[in-house]
Amino acid sequence: MRTVTPTPVPGDLSPELASVAAALEKLGKTRADCIRAAQAITYATPDPPPIAQWKSDLLAAGCNVRNDWLERVVVSYAAQDSLPRIDALHVHPAVKLLIRKEFKSFTSPSKQLILVGTDAFVTAIYVATLRRFPAGPIDWVVSGLPRSYFAKMPTTRVPGALWYALVHFGGLKPAFYVHLAYPPRNRSLVIEKEVRRAYYRMARSLILQPEMKGIMCSAWFHDPAALKDAPHLAALNEPYLQHGGRILGSVGEAREDSGFLKFNPERRKLYEEGKLRIHLTLAMWPRAAAIRWSEQHPDLD
């Protein structure tokens, strides 16, 4: 009886992704090439990463690059490279567990696609290279408050916003900048305790990073007009309305694809009729207030 040698699996890759990794290696693209490409990707990079060309080359070579299999190989290699550094991160222990869980999710095909050229792919790259940190239904990156935001505000609000940012928040950067998580983690946004638990993990991580000014976000879900028919998102605003932070106002109109029209036919109808406009709204939570709140809620640990 003939013995069939199983396809070798590099690292923790599933057999499906391992076949793509092997084909990629035949093209002369190594694991190190994948890691370098991943580390070079940013949200601001206008040009498509080399992964897009690799995908075309694999297709031309007859490789069955289904959906996001190549992307997952690249992300998985980047995650494997980052794995030894997780323990040294200055973040809450639950965040480290979530990072490891995310890393594991990259290594097999999934219904949640991370296709090159999409925000979902860049987000996965950021997590894999330890530039974006999962806290639950929300994530954060280390960033700051762009000066351009003040030019986008109504002029009457600029002095107050600038005073708050410089005096109460302590400066424009660095800070934890909040983003909604991608599926499936964002499904727990409707569970208030899970949102609070995510903020708790962020606040406790601030203690370990004394250089951080606090937590901030500019998003449509901080616009009071968006919350009128979305009370399930109220917990996202609690730090800024009830626990020492502040919502500072509009920094421009939210884009149609920013998420406020999803799963809301009535809001879409009003938007398309020109009767509703939702604004990206700046919210800031100083570190002292966030840490003080976390000390009052050990139940969220």
Question: What is the tens place of the pLDDT at every residue in 4-49?
Answer: 333 333 458 999 999 999 999 999 999 999 999 999 999 888 677 8
251: helix, strand or coil: strand
Query: 147 with 281, same domain?
Result: yes
Radius of gyration of the chain (CA): 21
Residues 54-65 have a mean pLDDT of 90
Query: 6 with 47, same domain?
Result: yes
Reported pTM: 0.91
Q: What is the mean pLDDT of the chain?
A: 90
- Structure confidence at residue 133 (pLDDT): 98
Encode pLDDT of 119-136 as tens digits.
999 999 999 999 999 999
Task: State the burial class of residue 231 (Cβ atoms within 10 Å of its Cβ: 0-12, 13-18, 19+).
Answer: exposed
What are the two backbone dihedrals, phi and then psi, of residue 38, each rounded to the nearest 5 degrees? -65, -45
Residues 195-209 have a mean pLDDT of 98
Of 264 and 214, the structure prediction assigns the larger pLDDT to: 214
Number of domains in the chain: 2
Q: How far apart are CA 65 and CA 67, in angstroms?
A: 6
Q: How far apart are CA 96 and CA 88, in angstroms?
A: 10
Q: At which of 109, 132, 155 does a domain end?
A: 132
Q: 89 is in which domain, residue-wise?
A: 1-132
Residues 83-99 have a mean pLDDT of 98
- E strands, 44-146, are 132-134, 138-143
How far is residue 134 from each of residues 51, 99, 197, measured CA to CA in Å? 24, 6, 12
Query: 54 with 78, same domain?
Result: yes
Encode pLDDT of 211-248 as tens digits.
999 999 999 899 988 877 777 889 999 999 999 999 99
- Structure confidence at residue 277 (pLDDT): 81
- Structure confidence at residue 258 (pLDDT): 66
Q: At which of 132, 167, 187 does a domain end?
A: 132
